[in-house]
């Protein structure tokens, strides 16, 4: 088993640049998905500790717990996406007021305007 994995890694090391980049992006994406899943699971564990399901059928309880966790994950992702979209929608506004400038312009040569392309 380990020999096959070792040979596979050596094949990727000796492959062309395109194949190595493709495997790098693929494995990085998988790692990101795993980390985000574990993070969301950790965040949702606190909210699910107070939930009491009926103890009549253990498999039904486990299935309900999984469904509740998935609903919490979906809710968390939805709230996160809404917060990100709200932050992206904010426009910066800058106001320059001419009466607040305190420059001394006596004796300076006039500045000609420059047309930018």
CB–CB of 34/10 below 8 Å?
A: no
CB–CB of 55/61 below 8 Å?
A: yes
Picking from 86, 83, 44, 43, the residue whose alpha carbon sits closest to that of residue 65 is 44
pLDDT attached to residue 47 = 53
Question: What are the residue ranges spanned by the domains of the chain?
Answer: 2-86
pLDDT attached to residue 92 = 67
Task: Give tens-digit pLDDT for 73-87.
Answer: 888 888 888 887 777
pLDDT attached to residue 72 = 86
Q: Which pLDDT band, with edges at 50, 70 and 90, does 101 fall under?
A: low
Token pair of 70 as six digits: 């998935």
Model confidence, pTM: 0.37
Place of tokens 């596979």: 8
């Amino acid at each position: 088993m380990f020999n096959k994995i070792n040979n596979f890694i050596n094949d990727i090391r000796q492959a062309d640049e395109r194949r190595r980049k493709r495997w790098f992006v693929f494995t990085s994406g998988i790692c990101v998905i795993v980390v985000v899943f574990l993070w969301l699971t950790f965040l949702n564990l606190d909210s699910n500790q107070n939930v009491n399901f009926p103890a009549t059928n253990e498999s039904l309880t486990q299935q309900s717990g999984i469904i509740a966790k998935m609903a919490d994950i979906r809710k968390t992702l939805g709230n996160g996406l809404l917060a990100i979209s709200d932050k992206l929608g904010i426009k910066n506004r800058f106001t320059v007021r001419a009466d607040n400038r305190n420059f001394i312009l006596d004796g300076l040569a006039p500045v000609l305007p420059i047309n930018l392309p």
